[in-house]
Amino acid sequence: MSMQECLGSWLNSFGKEDKKLVLVGISAICWALWKARNGVIFENKRISDPMTIIKAMTHWMVDWSILQIREQQKKGAGAGGKTARTGSKRCLRGLSRVEN
C-alpha cells in the first residue's frame, strides 16, 4: 500500500505542488524513524535523546525539499522565486495539518 493510499482524502486536500512537498515530509519522517530503528537493532545504538531523531527528520525534510524544488525549477514549474526555505516551510505546514 502506498503512502497516497494510506493518507487518502487528507493528502488530496492539497494542491499538486504542495502534495509533493507533503509527501517529501512524510517520507523524511519515515526514513529517519527507519534509520533510527536500524541503528538500535543492528548497531546496538541507544537513543538517549529523542531530539536526535527529530533533528534527523528535519535534516531529511530540508534536503529532500531542496531537491524537489530544484526538480520543479528544472521542469519550469514553480520557478519565479521559490526557495528551499519556503518549500520546507510548506512541507512542515502541510504535515502540521495532521494534528487538526
Per-residue pLDDT tens digits for 13-58:
888 878 888 888 888 999 999 999 999 999 999 999 999 999 999 9
- Asked if residue 2 is part of any domain, the answer here is no
- Asked if residue 14 is part of any domain, the answer here is no
- Asked if residue 79 is part of any domain, the answer here is yes
- Asked if residue 35 is part of any domain, the answer here is yes
Q: What is the dihedral of CA 84, 78, 76, 28, to 10 degrees?
A: 50
**Contact in structure between 82 and 20 (CB atoms under 8 Å):** no
- Asked if residue 62 is part of any domain, the answer here is yes
Q: How many domains does the chain have?
A: 1
pLDDT at res. 94: 59
Q: Provide the residue range defining the domain that includes 68.
A: 27-96
Whole-prediction pTM: 0.65
- Asked if residue 4 is part of any domain, the answer here is no
pLDDT at res. 85: 54
pLDDT at res. 92: 61
- Asked if residue 8 is part of any domain, the answer here is no
User: Is residue 2 helix, strand or coil?
Assistant: coil
- Asked if residue 21 is part of any domain, the answer here is no
